[in-house]
């Protein structure tokens, strides 16, 4: 049986306390994972400053070279997993077996992470707005005659990680060349990806002191959040809400992402159905970037039927089927509860499951010894319906009609808004909207990521602040 250890400053540590990582279909243990208690975590944090000094001794260029080498190792090499070695194919199989994500989607997420590691210089260019990265080595630089200096805000970046989508692990990776050590707490169903990334970085030459891996319960996660100068927290609304007003914690919660079609483009709505469906379905609908809402000024029912017609063609498939597009639910009862909740909200009659009408069957299905929720398109007859502001861990999209001038005020917070419009006034309103984070102008799927753009906050600005610096003319500072 595979036993995944804790990594304390990069060094494996096997705890007597372990947790099972079960197969999502059979419930049998795929691995045991050592558990870090709050005492171990607190003790190790006492070395945080020393660990950062070790990492800061390397240049940014050297760390970028480590990231590039790690990209190849993560993608192609057999890497340590406990006391054994794990091949890339074994990694994909294990990842699928505990998360319910089809192997085809696991491979796509693996490719995303590889790309981030390989193109890390471009990623940092986007985060720093093409600052001279040498200033992180020297502490300062002179740009266009102005003196620039940045101060680190933290000795570590703590990351409380999810189990729903491996691709999110690309978000904390820039901390490595930004010279901030990582403290990772993996999701209970998905230790595979952060552990494999860690091993790739260590094999590529990252100092072990720069990386710790603490599988733990909720108390361990809380300890990391409390002790980290800066952190990232992934989770549902209930998980992230207590930390929303803590400036040290960068929140990655529900996205409520949306596609918006402007009045100037709505008569051509048939051209945009593929963009809408891709936004809802890509990555199995599991990401905060997936569109859960479509807001249009008219033709809502017709558009909902066109979207539903495509989504109704997607079926439950086996995990090793290369054409699988949706993930299974590891928790059968949870899948049933989600489906029942949607049906209860539909019962009032002011919203309609258009997909079920076309498909002729329930979204909840049992197949391949597990449970699936099939893609669902709902037409809401008013903007205030609860399903107009809902997001789920499967492809779900609500279609809502509203006058263009009312959309931004009524649609709520939106991580990604794909706005299909060339209306200059509406675009200005979108730029000024405080409830819109990422903005795509034109028919760009909400899932399309440019890795040189920030996501739910800028990690460089989270980890560093600009400091005032004056140097006497008589002094030389290297």
CATH of the domain at 349: 3.40.309.10
Together in a domain, 324 and 413: yes
* Dihedral pair phi/psi, residue 234, rounded to 5°: -105, 135
Please state, as a whole number, how many other Cβ atoms lie within 10 Å of the Cβ of residue 347. 9
Render pLDDT for 2-20 as a digit per residue (tens, 0 to 9): 999 999 999 999 999 999 9
Together in a domain, 233 and 271: no
Does any domain span residue 124? yes
Please state, as a whole number, how many other Cβ atoms lie within 10 Å of the Cβ of residue 57. 11
- Residues forming a β-bridge with 142: 147
Render pLDDT for 380-419 as a digit per residue (tens, 0 to 9): 999 999 999 999 999 999 999 999 999 999 999 999 999 9
- The answer to whether the CB of 303 falls within 8 A of the CB of 267 is no
Together in a domain, 401 and 381: yes
Please state, as a whole number, how many other Cβ atoms lie within 10 Å of the Cβ of residue 463. 21
Rounded distance, CA 45 to CA 8, Å? 10
Together in a domain, 269 and 313: yes
Together in a domain, 96 and 175: yes
Confidence (pLDDT) at 478: 66
- The answer to whether the CB of 399 falls within 8 A of the CB of 307 is yes
Together in a domain, 324 and 262: yes
Confidence (pLDDT) at 455: 63
The token duo for 285 is 């609908």
Among 222, 190, 431, 388, CA closest to 291? 388
CA triplet 453, 459, 465: central angle to 5 degrees? 120
Confidence (pLDDT) at 469: 83
Give residue 32's domain range: 2-253+457-466
Given a cut of 80, whether residue 352 has pLDDT beyond it is: yes
Together in a domain, 265 and 242: no
Together in a domain, 53 and 137: yes
Among 164, 203, 202, CA closest to 182? 202
Render pLDDT for 290-324 as a digit per residue (tens, 0 to 9): 999 999 999 999 999 999 999 999 999 999 999 99
- Residues forming a β-bridge with 79: 86
Together in a domain, 437 and 380: yes
In what side-by-side order are the strands of the sheet with 18-22? 2-4, 29-34, 18-22
pLDDT mean over 85-99: 97
pLDDT mean over 81-91: 97
Higher pLDDT pick, 457 / 163: 163
Rounded distance, CA 137 to CA 278, Å? 42
Confidence (pLDDT) at 122: 93
The token duo for 411 is 């649609």
- Number of alpha carbons in the 13 Å side-chain half-sphere of residue 352: 12
Does any domain span residue 471? no
Number of domains making up the chain: 2
Does any domain span residue 450? no
Question: Which whole-number Å values give the CA distances from 159 to 136, 142, 199, 388, in the listed order?
Answer: 22, 33, 17, 31
Domain containing residue 244: CATH number: 3.40.605.10
Q: For 129-177, give the secondary structure using H, E and C.
A: CCCCCCHHHHCEEEECCEEEEEEECCCCEEEECCCCCHHHHHCCHHHCC
Does any domain span residue 341? yes
| 293 Cβ contact partners less than 8 Å away, ≥ 6 residues apart | 256, 257, 258, 259, 388, 389, 397, 398, 399, 400, 411, 414
Map tokens 């919203």 to a residue: 351
Classify residue 466 as exposed, middle or buried by CB count within 10 Å of its CB (0-12, 13-18, 19+). Answer: exposed
> Would you give the distance in Å from CA 156 to the centre of its chain?
20
Q: 3-class SS at 302?
A: helix
- Residues forming a β-bridge with 12: 7
Question: Which whole-number Å values give the CA distances from 96 to 91, 110, 232, 452, 461, in the listed order?
Answer: 9, 12, 24, 29, 34
Q: What one-character DSSP code corresponds to residue 287?
A: S
The token duo for 462 is 């989270």
Together in a domain, 177 and 289: no
Together in a domain, 71 and 139: yes
Does any domain span residue 271? yes
Does any domain span residue 19? yes
Does any domain span residue 89? yes
Together in a domain, 197 and 265: no
Report if pTM > 0.85: yes
What is the overall mean pLDDT for the chain?
94
With cut-offs at 50, 70 and 90, classify the pLDDT of residue 454: low
Render pLDDT for 174-223 as a digit per residue (tens, 0 to 9): 999 999 999 999 999 999 999 999 999 999 999 999 999 999 999 999 99
Does any domain span residue 478? no
């Amino acid at each position: 049986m595979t036993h995944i250890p804790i990594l304390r400053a990069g060094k494996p540590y096997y705890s007597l306390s372990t947790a099972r990582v079960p197969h999502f279909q059979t419930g049998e243990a795929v691995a045991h994972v050592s558990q870090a208690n709050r005492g171990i975590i607190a003790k190790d944090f006492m070395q945080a400053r020393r660990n950062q000094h070790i990492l800061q001794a390397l240049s940014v260029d050297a760390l970028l070279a480590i990231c590039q080498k790690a990209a190849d190792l993560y993608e192609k090499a057999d890497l340590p997993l406990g006391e054994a070695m794990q091949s890339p194919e074994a990694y994909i199989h294990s990842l699928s077996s505990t998360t319910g994500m089809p192997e085809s989607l696991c491979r796509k997420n693996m490719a995303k992470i590889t790309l981030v590691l390989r193109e890390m210089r471009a990623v940092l260019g986007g985060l720093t707005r093409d600052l001279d990265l040498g200033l992180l080595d020297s502490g300062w630089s002179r740009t266009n005659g102005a003196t620039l200096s940045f101060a680190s805000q933290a000795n570590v970046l703590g990351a409380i990680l999810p189990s729903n989508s491996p691709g999110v692990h690309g978000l904390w990776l820039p901390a490595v060349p930004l010279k901030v050590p990582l403290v990772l707490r993996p999701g209970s169903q998905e230790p595979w990806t952060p552990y494999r990334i860690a091993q790739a970085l260590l094999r590529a030459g990252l100092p072990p002191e720069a990386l710790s891996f603490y599988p733990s319960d909720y108390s361990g996660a809380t300890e990391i959040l409390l002790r980290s100068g800066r952190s990232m927290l992934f989770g549902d609304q209930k998980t992230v809400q207590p930390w929303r007003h803590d400036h040290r914690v960068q929140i990655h919660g529900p996205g409520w992402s949306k596609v918006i079609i402007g009045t100037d483009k709505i008569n051509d709505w048939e051209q945009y159905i593929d963009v809408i469906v891709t936004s809802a379905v890509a990555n199995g609908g599991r990401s905060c970037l997936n569109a859960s809402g479509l807001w249009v000024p008219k033709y809502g029912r017709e558009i909902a039927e066109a979207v539903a017609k495509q989504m109704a063609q997607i079926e439950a498939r086996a995990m090793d089927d290369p054409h699988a597009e949706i993930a299974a639910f590891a928790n059968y009862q949870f899948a049933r509860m989600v489906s029942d909740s949607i049906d209860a909200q539909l019962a009032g009659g002011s919203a309609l499951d258009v997909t079920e009408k076309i498909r002729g069957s329930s979204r909840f299905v049992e197949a391949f010894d597990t449970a699936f929720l099939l893609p669902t398109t709902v037409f809401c007859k008013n903007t205030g319906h609860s399903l107009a502001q809902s997001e789920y861990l499967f492809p779900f999209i609500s279609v809502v009609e509203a006058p263009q001038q009312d959309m931004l005020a009524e649609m709520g917070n939106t991580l990604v808004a794909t706005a299909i419009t060339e209306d200059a006034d509406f675009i200005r309103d979108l730029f000024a909207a405080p409830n819109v984070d990422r903005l795509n102008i034109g028919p760009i799927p909400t899932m399309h990521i440019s890795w040189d753009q920030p996501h739910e906050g800028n990690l460089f600005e989270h980890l560093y602040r600009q400091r005032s610096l004056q140097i006497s003319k008589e002094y030389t500072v290297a």
